[in-house]
Amino acid sequence: MLSSIKNKTKGWLAYLIVGLITIPFALFGINEYFTGASNIVVASIDDDEISKEEFLAEFNPQKRRLQQKLAEQYDTEFDTVLKQSIINQMIDRRLLDQLAQRMSHATTTAELNVVIQTNDLFHDQGRFSIDTYKQLLRLNGYTPTKYESIKSKELTQNQIKYNLLDSAFMLPSELTRLQQLNDQQRQFSYIQLDANSYNDKVKVDEKSVQNFYNNQKESFVALEQVKIDFVELSLTEVAKNISVNDDELFNFYEDEQARFTSDEERQAQHILLEDEDTAKKVLDLLENGGDFGKLAAEYSQDPGSKDSAGDLGLFTRGVMVGAFEDSVFSMKEGELSGLVKSEFGYHIIKLNVIKSGAVKSFDSVKSELIELYTQSKAQKDLYKLTEQMANLAYEANLEELANQMGLKLQTTEFFNRQATQLDAKLVLAAFSDVVLNKKENSEVLELGEDRFMVIHLKDQLPQRQKAFEEVKGEINTHLTSLLAKTFVDKIAAQIVKHAKAGDTDSVKQLMDKNSLEWIKIGWVKRDSTKADAGIISKVFALTKPSGSSVYSAQSLNKGNAIVIDLSAIKISENQIPTTDLENALLEFESNEVFVNILQTLRSQADIQVFNKSL
């Protein structure tokens, strides 16, 4: 009904949601790289280019998260907003990289090591775990090298911001005044009027409803609608028709045995030192009977392991840096290494345990085998069936396709181009020239993961102007709400007028007539939860009372009005600004400067965005 008016909010809502979900400098979720896109350039910053491969690696994971959050409300408009948001972030990062290089900012290996090893994400039982680190990176599509490269760049870029924070300052008098404003308390009461409670006190005449319809006819259009027949092919349904026998299962087990084999694990201690002379000294102490744990606690520069005797726990190949790993997996149990040089410094390693890999028995993994085999076989069958579906969709009608493939022919209800209850790809295909005008089968549509569909037009209804009788009820409700809001605003204004004049009898008469009462809140600070945050905000926006109360009528939202009685304020006597406030203000100031620097960098750079390639 009034859908076209409501839909006007879609644009700004899209920007708001994307702004909330898209996290600048995000490190997790960038887990897809696409072949064939590395040669396509989507943006250039001077001589620095951003490939489509890099762009898609950030865009696709964030798009999936947005789709999961919005579900059926997601549409292509969000894609456009998200693409622009991400490409802008990537350009900003490139500009900051260039600035950091010009300013000779860099992140040392030791600094990177400390940041990673003190990150709680990578801790197990309170301390850094190589296993947890590697596993978490792997789950998010990273190699340690890739993650550490991204993290190093982020730390280098942040140096620019931290330097700004270090140089930011505020005058003591400014801080004191801001602290006093922040700590100020206000005493108030309020009356709340809910417009919905006054709907029965207002009446909309039919002429007004008719006039509204005549003036807003373009808002009352029934969009073109279609009803479609469709057949669907899914991995889930294909898998249901697959039977498994033990011979096939055992052969699959033999082929996939590596999947059920645990890797060899080794448990070692190490002492990490930055300079070679100290490393030689510690090695000499160890070779002469020194206690490894005590020497690790005294000398090791690895914050994640030094307090636990240098213990790194059990780990497999592919976890440690190359030189370290090569040394550990060439040692014998109980052996002490010489000096092993890596990008982190010099390691002295003691190998304590070798835990050989083992193959799980067929019986112990049978249930997992059945699931994997069924999934694998279903994937192969699904691929063949989609080829068959594509051929039949081109050659036969939809009923013949359904009969030949043993699929159920189904039909939707009528829907329009703005339908959100159906997959966006299906809606787009239903209103395509091929389906809507040429009345042909669609091509095979891939809807989500392992789900395929072919559609055909069943019926259609043209766009039409809705008759007055169809919409007059909704118009009446809409106009009643507007009148009720005007009604409560008028009551609130009258109460304030009488209160300011000191006419308490008239105030009481109005309140009694409309069953209103003062809600006494008392003293509040800006962060108080004694009343709605919107009310608190309006209270602190009022001028301070001088001798008598300040009365104000305010529109709280579309449906409510309030009358505020601000009776007193209390000024804080605190002359010493808190560290938290000072830090917050300095952070705000440095952020403003940081934004201005980015704007300057953008104005000075030759930036091109190739939107058609996004």
Q: Which of 152-166, 519-533, 540-554 has the lowest mean pLDDT?
A: 152-166
Residue pLDDT, tens place only, 260-270: 877 788 999 99
Of the pLDDT bands very low, low, confident and very high (cuts 50, 70, 90), residue 21 is very low
The predicted structure's pLDDT at residue 574: 61
392 within 8 A of 401, measured Cβ to Cβ: yes
Residue pLDDT, tens place only, 583-600: 555 555 556 666 777 888
Which is higher by pLDDT, 186 or 59? Answer: 186
Task: Write down the pTM of the prediction.
Answer: 0.45
Q: Which domains occur in the chain, in start order?
A: 3-169+605-613 (1.10.4030.10), 185-218+470-570 (no CATH), 224-246+366-462 (3.10.50), 262-355 (3.10.50.40)
278 has a pLDDT exceeding 50: yes
pLDDT averaged over every residue in the chain = 83
pLDDT mean over 110-124: 85
- Cα separation, 403 vs 425, whole angstroms: 25
The predicted structure's pLDDT at residue 48: 87
Share of the chain above pLDDT 90, in %: 43
Which is higher by pLDDT, 68 or 250? Answer: 250
Q: For the CA atoms of 116, 120, 121, 126, what is the dihedral angle to 10 degrees?
A: 110
Burial of 328 (0-12, 13-18, 19+ CB in 10 A): buried
The predicted structure's pLDDT at residue 570: 87
Which is higher by pLDDT, 62 or 446? Answer: 446
Element (H, E) at 452: strand 451-461
pLDDT mean over 358-370: 83
Of the pLDDT bands very low, low, confident and very high (cuts 50, 70, 90), residue 385 is very high
What is the b/e burial string over 241-278, where b = at least 16 CB atoms within 10 angstroms of the residue's CB? eeeeeeeebeebbeeeeeebeeeebbbbbbbbbeeeee
- Cα separation, 109 vs 302, whole angstroms: 12
Work out whether the CA dihedral 323, 329, 332, 334 comes out positive or negative. Answer: positive
